[in-house]
Amino acid sequence: MLGLIETIRQTDAVGQFVALLMLVMSISSWVVILWKAKVLWTAKRQVPQAVAAFWQAADLAAAKQSLAAFDRSVLVLPMLDATQNVAPNTLAGQAERGQHLTRVLRDALHQGLARLQYGQVLLATIGSTAPFVGLLGTVWGIYHALVGLTGGGQIGIEKIAGPVGEALIMTAAGLAVAIPAVLAYNVFGKMIAQIESELEGFAFDLRELLQRA
């Protein structure tokens, strides 16, 4: 670790900028990974429980209380609340019951999915760009090595060892930043799809129930 820090300290401004950029990308990626892991794991566990509690309730009032107790992620309850808010003397209030339910449930579902997908773009961006940022540092290190070889005086291993080591470190750093972001993006995407399927099914069933009421 000390050798890595020393290598970065000995490089020039471009190399230090690349190293700093990858450090920022790594920290940002891990903050999002840890936060989303907690959010999605909680939602994946609570959404089915909340849906089951809703359908086991005796009426809508009891169902709302059950959702408030189980839906700590606040993904299911907003859909029920949206169906109960109809403003009179508006175009929304003049629409047919089925159309109104479809619209409000769709909007509530999209808002919930937007919360679940928050941070996915950052992970995708880091996962796709970190290797190229590392490649920039690699190319810069190789350039320094070539400059050392073409410089005057006797050519020794010490003239190229530092730049080559810098190039290898940048390559490894780019992969070390990208791989966790890509893996987390894929895992979270699968979890989001499962939660989305559960929410869409609930929205459809809720619409059918309220339309017939």
Total domains in the chain come to 1
167 Cβ neighbours under 8 A, 6+ residues apart: 137, 138, 139, 140, 141, 142, 145
For residue 3, pLDDT beyond 50: no
pLDDT at 135: 84
pLDDT at 66: 86
The pTM score is 0.81
Evaluate whether residue 158 is within a structural domain. yes
Evaluate whether residue 8 is within a structural domain. yes
Please state, in angstroms and rounded to a whole number, the distance separating the CA atoms of residues 94 and 123.
Answer: 43
Look up residue 93 and give its amino acid: G
Q: Output Rg (C-alpha) for the chain, integer angstroms.
A: 27
Evaluate whether residue 189 is within a structural domain. yes
Evaluate whether residue 78 is within a structural domain. no
Q: Highest mean pLDDT range out of 12-21, 54-63, 163-172? A: 54-63
Evaluate whether residue 51 is within a structural domain. yes
pLDDT at 22: 87
Residue with the larger pLDDT of the pair 210 and 159: 210
Please state, in angstroms and rounded to a whole number, the distance separating the CA atoms of residues 157 and 176.
Answer: 28
Q: Which domain holds residue 103?
A: 2-65+95-212
Evaluate whether residue 124 is within a structural domain. yes
Evaluate whether residue 83 is within a structural domain. no
Evaluate whether residue 52 is within a structural domain. yes
Whole-number average pLDDT of the chain: 83
